[in-house]
Amino acid sequence: MSACPGQSMLPIPGDPSERGPWPVGLRTVVITERNMTVDVLYPAVVGSEAGVPNVVYSIRDEHLPPRQAAKIPDEDDPPQPVRSQ
């Protein structure tokens, strides 16, 4: 993939199961008018992850009722580490 003139691209792993070179940010937003809590994942600035602990994100554990979550084995819901910024 070519970049815009003057820009350089970070190396992308050939195996899609490997972590890519970009950090991911996580913000939790509370929308009181709708009684909702929303996690927003976004591409963070490279280097902004320095000194920030990983947050492990699980769709099964965070967003499913317990009866539904129990149907999904661990191997089908690997933890997704992201950064909280």
DSSP-assigned states of every residue in 21-46: SS-EEEEEEEEGGGTEEEEEEEEPPT
pLDDT number for residue 67: 93
pLDDT number for residue 44: 87
Residue 61 amino acid letter:
D
pLDDT number for residue 81: 66
Which regions in the chain score pLDDT beneath 70?
A: 1-3, 80-85
pTM above 0.85, yes or no: no
Joined tokens for residue 83: 């950064």
Asked if residues 65 and 73 have their Cβ atoms less than 8 Å apart, the reply is: no
pLDDT number for residue 2: 61
Domain edges within the chain: 24-84
pLDDT number for residue 31: 95
